[in-house]
Every structure is written in structure tokens, then in C-alpha cells.
Amino acid sequence: MNTATHVPVLEVSGLDIEIRGVNGAFAVVSDMNFSVRAGETLCIVGESGCGKSMTALSLLRLLPDAATIAGGKVLIEGQDFLAMDQRQVEDFRGEKIAMIFQEPLTALNPVLRIGEQIAESVRQHRKCSRREADARAVDVLRLVQMPDPERRASQFPHELSGGMRQRAMIALALACDPKIIIADEPTTALDVTIQAQILGLISDLQKRLGTAQILITHDLGVVSEVADRVIVMYAGRKVEEASIFDLFDRPFHPYTIGLMGAVPGAGASSEAGDRLADIPGTVPPLWNLPKGCAFAPRCPGASARCLEERPPFEEKRPGHWAACWEHDDAA
């Protein structure tokens, strides 16, 4: 983990994302605010459907057709990415901000060799010859510790193992030295041993290159290994944000506490022989959220106020924010 001190390279303010459904539009992300500095790793964590991947895709303007950015700003080195035309967006992608996708076999072009795909990105953003771009492709494959990078550059995605494809995906993201890397569940499709290798590689490269990193995950075990700061999302909104140390030491929000109780070695279930906790109920549908706090129907400590009024997202301790009426002190 890093302790970056630079000004933010990415600032997100008031981000709202809507999806058009058969019964009209509904919010999938509401009032997201955060920033990331060079050399810092911000993890966004939450259950499936909480809006974390939609948030990530919006930062590259790669939302699906049914989704729309309804409000907010995304500033990359002070420039409003959401206000740019399509040509400017394509210039920024790869050069300023890039993404490591969850499943490289679908993200990589199946009919182009790995080296060709990386070289194509290099030539799009840099004035260089085909030979120079091809050389850069091999160099960046070597950077991500791809075995026999010259040979792998000449192969197609289906000819590589899952771990190698993910290394190729990382190489493609790093090819033009972007300032910001977004990794969306980058190890989900890999076995445990390869997961550890890929996470270690991403972390090592981030430290060496000084990039800002946003890691999207549902896995608090991963978060504990790589994060500097953490945002916890629930039903499209932030419910807690803190440094990794504060979050694991004294979480505020009942949802965060519940997530930690379900992780071996974290929270209350850290003693040998203890049963892992679970969170009762299910995440409410985003098109039919409760009137008050979205977590209240599942929360063991919810009051009548929680059911009627949405709590504000406020600073509970210095640098530690949460949205909860009942927890004014750390758990």
C-alpha cells in the first residue's frame, strides 16, 4: 500500500447514473463523490448489484446503452471527461485512464494477436512506427512478467491460459502509461493461486509506476491486502468511506460490520472455530428502494427513524465517513 501525497488525478463529484427500464428510469448510482491521487489505491467494495461496476464503467464512458450519466462531474487532471466529445474521449482512454476488465477473453479481440492489440493502442496514442509499437508491445508484456513475451505477442487470446490472458489485459491497459488504472474484479475468473499472482503483480506495478488505482471488488480479503482507502457501497450509494486501517479497526456502518463478519480472520469471526456471520435478507431492487435507509430492513439495530429517513453521509471521526443514524461512535 502507498501513502500518496499528490493532488488528485481523478475527482468524481455528484455522479448519478440511471437505467431506462420498461417502467421508466431508475437510479443505479446516486451522488457518488471521491478522488484518487497518484500512487494511491482506492477500493470500492459491495455486493453484486450495488453499483460499483457501473461506477467504474462511467469513468471511461463505457456504460451499456440503457444506462445514462444523469449528473455529476468526472475530472481527470482537472479536465471534465464527461463534457468531452467522442474524439477527446478516445484520446483520453488508454493515455490518461485505462481499465483491466473482469474477463479478458471477452475484452480482448479474438481475431487479433496479443501483440497486435497492444501495438494498435500504442500507435493510436503515440507518434511511432509500426516497428516501435511492436517493440513496445513486447516490452510491456515483459513488464507484466509474461513468460516468453516475444512468443506470446504472436499468439491469439484463445491460445493463452486464463492467467496469461489477464497479464495480456494488464499489459494492454499499461501500454501507454496511463495516470489512472481501473481494475474491475480482475481475478474473479481465476483459481486461487493465479489470483494471488495477478493481485501481487498489479500491486507491484502500481507501486513502481506511481499510477492511481481504483479496484472494484466484493472481496474484503483482497481489500485488506492492497487498499489505501475503501468505499463501501450499498444499493447504489456510499455507506462508508475510510482509510483501510480505520475501516478494519473500527467500522461504523452495520453493513460494513456485516461484510467483515462474513470474512474469515476479519471482524468478530476471527477466533478459531467461530462461525462466519451472514447478513439476513436480500439487497432491495434499485427500482423499489425503501423510504429511509436502504439497509434498514436487513439491519439488526434499525430504528423507526431509519425506516423513514435516509441518513446523511457525514464524517463520524476525522477522515472516516458513514451514513447511519444509529452509529455515532465506532463499533
Q: Which domains does the chain have, with CATH numbers?
A: 8-96+178-322 (3.40.50.300), 104-177 (no CATH)
Prediction pTM value: 0.91
The pLDDT score that the predictor gives to residue 104 is 86
The pLDDT score that the predictor gives to residue 136 is 97
The pLDDT score that the predictor gives to residue 42 is 97
Show pLDDT as tens, one digit a residue, over the chain (331 residues). 554 556 899 999 999 999 998 878 999 999 999 999 999 999 999 988 899 999 999 999 999 999 999 999 999 999 999 999 999 999 999 899 999 988 888 889 999 999 999 999 999 998 899 999 999 999 999 999 999 999 999 999 999 999 999 999 999 999 999 999 999 988 877 888 888 888 889 989 988 999 999 999 988 888 988 999 999 999 999 999 999 999 999 999 999 999 988 776 655 445 555 666 778 888 899 999 999 999 999 998 899 999 999 999 999 999 999 999 987 654 4
The pLDDT score that the predictor gives to residue 22 is 81
The pLDDT score that the predictor gives to residue 220 is 87
Q: What does the buried/exposed string (b/e) look like for 198-225 if buried means 16 or more CB atoms within 10 Å of the residue's CB? A: bbebbbebbeebebbbbbbbbbbebbbe
CA-CA-CA-CA dihedral for 206, 212, 218, 221, to nearest 10:
40
The sheet with strand 67-76 has its strands ordered as 24-37, 8-21, 67-76, 79-80
The pLDDT score that the predictor gives to residue 280 is 83
- Distance between CA atoms of 63 and 212, rounded to whole angstroms? 21
Grid coordinates representing 49 are 448489484
